[in-house]
Structure 1
């Protein structure tokens, strides 16, 4: 499935993440404060390039990754998208990360809302889920603002720095409130 559409986040430029973005993405994605509350195993620009490469496939099950930039400077300030995509089940897991100096500006919420709208309206997915470490209260607040419902605890769900860790799982399914979410450019 070739899909060139991207979600819209007001006040920012959104594009598909490209291999050329890996160095800029690494300036914040590999920071200890970014990795602390995730299960990401990325440790280098090479790892990020491999992640981006997987998203460039036209396979319907391929992850999707978007770059969010300041419109004037073009600075990459955040990334968002989906992994664990199932074309068969029309489901995916949302992901987002924001450059630390942009924390507290509502970007994660705006990206999550835009991603969910795009998932339902453009991709026709019937479920978007999200998982967070129990300690990641900020991400849990983002999900609540975006209409996700807590479904439960996943025990020893992912390894975090080599240790089995519990995660909370949230989901969002299409409903009447989707009309207020931004979808595509």
Structure 2
């Protein structure tokens, strides 16, 4: 059970629900959103399956939050964690933002606050992140949040069938700071 909610100024934030699939898929399945990721989501059903995985309730179950605009209640971004190891206290942060909201600092706020939540609420020892080499925007997000680039991980994941290299970033407690 969550001890306190994830807080991101300017947004209502809550765990993803199955009924969010269509709203999230409207942008998550776009080629420009998937371009620099390993996402395979093509349909609402693919997104629904991803949300279903977050509902398993096991210690290593992925966690995903949706960010809703306070006025319209539209989903404009998600943030969460996958590749969770409850035994070792580690997880990988993941986030996405609808293209019409790019460049507004939403990914940075979501990533920073999710990492702080992970250290405070989950008491994890490490939050890591990976980016494909050309995903400069995501690399800047991570660096602004206090994540450090640890190195190159070769052929880490398949990206649309091709083994792909990734930069590995990580933060440990105390390295991610709340912005005043």
Q: Does 1:70 align with 2:60?
A: no
- Contact kept in structure 1, 2:146 and 2:176, CA below 8 Å: no
Match of 1:111 in 2: 110
Aligned to 1:54: 53
Q: TM-score, normalised by structure 2?
A: 0.96
Which structure has more relative contact order (CA 8 Å, sep 6+)? It is 1
> Would the aligned equivalents of 1:82 and 1:94 in 2 still touch at CA under 8 Å?
yes
**Distance of 2:128 and 2:179 partners within structure 1:** 16
Preserved CA contact (<8 Å) 2:38 2:158: yes
8 A contact 2:145–2:177 mirrored in 1: no
Q: CA RMSD in A?
A: 1.3
1:36 maps to which residue? Answer: 35
- Displacement of 1:3: 2.3
Please state whether the residue corresponding to 1:34 is helix, strand or coil. Answer: helix
What does residue 166 of structure 2 align with? 167
Ranges in structure 2 where 5+ consecutive residues have no aligned partner: none
Q: Which residue of 1 aligns with 2:12?
A: 13
Q: Which runs of 4+ in 1 moved over 4 A?
A: none
What CA distance in whole angstroms lies between the structure 2 residues aligned with 1:65 and 1:167?
Answer: 22
Which has the higher mean CA deviation after the structures are superposed, 110-119 or 54-63? 54-63
How many matched pairs? Answer: 180
Q: For the structure 1 residues 132 and 178, does the alpha-carbon distance in structure 2 shift closer, same or farther, using more than 3 Å as the test?
A: closer
The structural deviation recorded for 1:4 is 6.3
